[in-house]
Every structure is written in C-alpha cells, then in structure tokens.
Amino acid sequence: MILAGDFRKGITVEIDGQVWSIADFQHVKPGKGAAFVRTKLKNVMTGAVLERTFSPTDKYPTAHIETREMQYLYNDGDLYYFMDNESYEQLALNHGQVEDAIDFIVENSNVTIRFFKGNAFSVAAPNFVELTVTETEPGFAGDTATGATKPAKVETGYQVNVPLFVNEGDRIRIDTRTGEYMSRC
C-alpha cells in the first residue's frame, strides 16, 4: 500500500480495479482547508489519461508490473507473435499492444514486454535500433556541411529524416524514444 502523499512520477498503483501510472503529481497546501495531491494518471492498459485529486492520507495498493525480454517472430494479419527467450512459449499480441514499438522492430529482434497479473499490455523496443534504409533520394558528395535533411524509409516502413549523405542500403541508428536519426552505422 502507498499513501497518496508519497506518490512520485513513474509509480504504478491500482485504483478502482485498474492499473495507473503516475505521469505527474503536485502536492498542494492551500491557505485555507486541507492539503491535497493533484495528479495526472495514465492507464497502463488503455493509455487513457486522467487528472484526479487525492487526500494525502488515501491508501492504494502498489501495482507490480512484470517485464520480460522476448523475441519478435512475425506478423500474421493483425496479430504479432513473440517468443519467450527462456521457456520458448509464444505470445500473440494485437496491434494496439505493439503500436508504440512496431515501427522499430524487425523479425528476430529482442523487445521488452510488460505484464500485469499475467496479461501483456505493452511492448517496448530497445532505446536504439539499427535499420536499413530502403527508400530515399540519392545523396551527393559535399552535402554534409549544410545540415539539411531528407526523408528516408527504413525496412520496417517507418519514415525518418536523415542527412543528405545517407543512401539506400545504408544502415542507420535510430533513437526509438524520439524516432530521430542518430548516426550511420
């Protein structure tokens, strides 16, 4: 159990049978009346965001989120299949559960899957991935000084802005948290 007065960013709690992550919080002590905690909560299952006020003495159970490293196998229509690296069990997830990571993962790459009470609810790609450029305008020698960029499509279908010297077939490093080009590999 955790007191609302002890809420911090990133803590997960169970409220009304659902799991919420504290996205933002503020302890407020007005001149008149009792103190309270103003929070912005994000539902870890649905992604819904809720603003709610709590008394600092309210108690809520802490939600324990389990994470497992799994390997992305393949896509079959609207289902995405993953394999547990230890037990070799396969898990099928729908597009809503993988949409944040699917632009950055290719077959046989490892991802982190988050579970609550045995149910998978989200997939996270590694912070940095290396992908091959499949489509872009040709680059020219000497185009490195201006800092200009051009659009490029990578093997997953994701579109990213890259420097002018990047060509089709090049491997590039992308930061999955921001979706931006980092370097050529």
- Which residue bears the tokens 């995405």? 80
Between CA 115 and CA 44 the distance in angstroms is: 10
β-strands 119-124, 128-136 pairing: unpaired
| CATH code at 129-184 | 2.40.50.140
Q: What is the mean pLDDT of residues 154-183?
A: 92
pLDDT at 110: 94
Between CA 67 and CA 78 the distance in angstroms is: 23
Checking if the pLDDT of 143 tops 60, the result is no
Beta bridge partners of 2: 60
User: 1: helix, coil or strand?
Assistant: coil
Domain 2-60 has CATH 2.60.120.260: no
b/e for 152-174, b at 16 or more Cβ within 10 A? bebebebebebbbebeeebebeb
Who contacts 19 (Cβ-Cβ below 8 Å, separation ≥6)?
Answer: 12, 13, 43, 44, 45, 63, 65, 116
Q: Same CATH fold, 66-124 and 2-60?
A: no
pLDDT at 134: 94
pLDDT at 38: 95
Categorize the per-residue pLDDT at 52 as very low, low, confident or very high, splitting at 50, 70 and 90. Answer: very high
Mean pLDDT of the chain: 89
Q: Determine how many CB atoms are found less than 10 A away from the CB of residue 14.
A: 15
CATH of 66-124, one of 1.10.1740.10, 1.10.287.3510, 3.20.20.70, 2.40.50.140: 2.40.50.140
Checking if the pLDDT of 146 tops 70, the result is no
pLDDT at 157: 92
Between CA 84 and CA 66 the distance in angstroms is: 13
pLDDT tens digits for 70-108? 999 999 888 999 999 999 999 999 887 888 889 999 999
Q: Where are the domains of the chain?
A: 2-60, 66-124, 129-184
